[in-house]
Amino acid sequence: MSRLNSDDYCEFTRLLIRHRGLKVNTLNHGGAMVECIFHEDWNPSLSISFSRGQYHCFQCGRGGSLSSLSKMSEAFGRPITLVLNKTEDLDDLNYEPIPTEKPLIRRVFHPLDIRGRFINYLNSDRCLDYVKRRGISKAVAGSMRFSYCAEAYINGTYFKDRLIIPIFDPHGLYMNVEGRELEKTGKKCIYPKGAIKPLYEWYKLDKNKILYLFEGIIKLAVARTDTFFANSSTTMGCLFSDYQLNQLKLFPSITLVRDMDDAGLEMANKLKRIFNGNLHVWSLTNMAIKDVDEIPTILNTTVQLYRESGGFVEDVDFM
């Protein structure tokens, strides 16, 4: 293929806009500012220079040559020089895109729109106190990358004075975050509007071993203080997303450690209906607690000692 020039890059950008249904802020013969194709972009942030043959996104930081971008794109299925069309007016491109024209894959993995700053939870005395009070080890909190947020907007949702537990995709991009209140002053936990709800760290789990499943992310953190529950995850609530249901099907055997309340019973019944693999449901034997994260706070013991003393039993109603 011959070397591309600025006119070719202009035409390539036009085709990309039309094929992906991208929003356009500016577009002229010098360059363009369009919706980024690498993340869910609420305001066009991908800058394209036709003269330099370069692109750069001011939100996600992706950038490079337009030649490499044209090779990456599967929009056209054949070399760009064979599909360039110079007959359409640039002004026609400033229209509202049709949502169904966007490839669905863009809504599977995308970083959050984070307007604020997270710091390591170790730099917040109140976060340290919270982690210690809940019986979560520093090793577990560090591996789960606990953070602190003084103030931020995440996908437009306001987070203030929260312990942040991030949920990443396999490439290290934020898919979701749980914001836990440090004091009982408001809503216990919040999530960004419109964020994907996956099975926590599904890409790190061993599909050949039993998956131990917990309802909440703090419960998971407490359970992981016992290495017995190393291959474990959470659904972040008793309601399953379609995304999680597909991920759960990857595991041949699941043991749900259920909460001893109505929500825990509902979760167990739902899992029994939708999971076709080898399912076990464990209950807690001590009636003083209703879930795993109360083992250190109410019983004043470790999850490991509780387990080794027979604290988890098979729920006969699900055998």
Q: Could you give the domains of the chain?
A: 6-107 (3.90.580), 110-196 (3.90.980.10), 197-319 (3.40.1360.10)
Per DSSP, the three-state class of 303 is: helix
Q: What pLDDT, on a 0 to 100 scale, did the predictor assign at position 110?
A: 52
pTM exceeding 0.85: no
Q: Which one, of 285, 295, 284, lies nearest residue 221 by Cα?
A: 295
CA distance 116 to 127: 18
CA distance 192 to 178: 8
C-alpha distances in angstroms, 20 versus 13, 36, 109, 266, 305? Answer: 10, 10, 16, 41, 55
69-92 as b/e: b if 16+ CB within 10 A: bbeebebeeeebeeebeeeeeeee
Q: Edge to edge, what strands does the sheet with 31-34 contain? A: 24-27, 31-34, 46-49, 54-57, 63-65
Q: What is the pLDDT of residues 167-213, one digit of tens each?
A: 998 888 889 999 999 988 788 999 999 888 999 999 999 999 999 99
Q: Distance between terminal CA atoms of the chain?
A: 64
Q: What pLDDT, on a 0 to 100 scale, did the predictor assign at position 105?
A: 33
Question: Residue 187 phi/psi, 5° resolution?
Answer: -75, 130
CB of 275 closer than 8 Å to CB of 281:
no
Q: In which residue ranges of the chain is pLDDT below 50?
A: 1-2, 74-109
CA distance 211 to 232: 5
Point out which residues pair with 116 in neighbouring strands: 152
Q: Which one, of 232, 206, 295, 301, lies nearest residue 259 by Cα?
A: 295
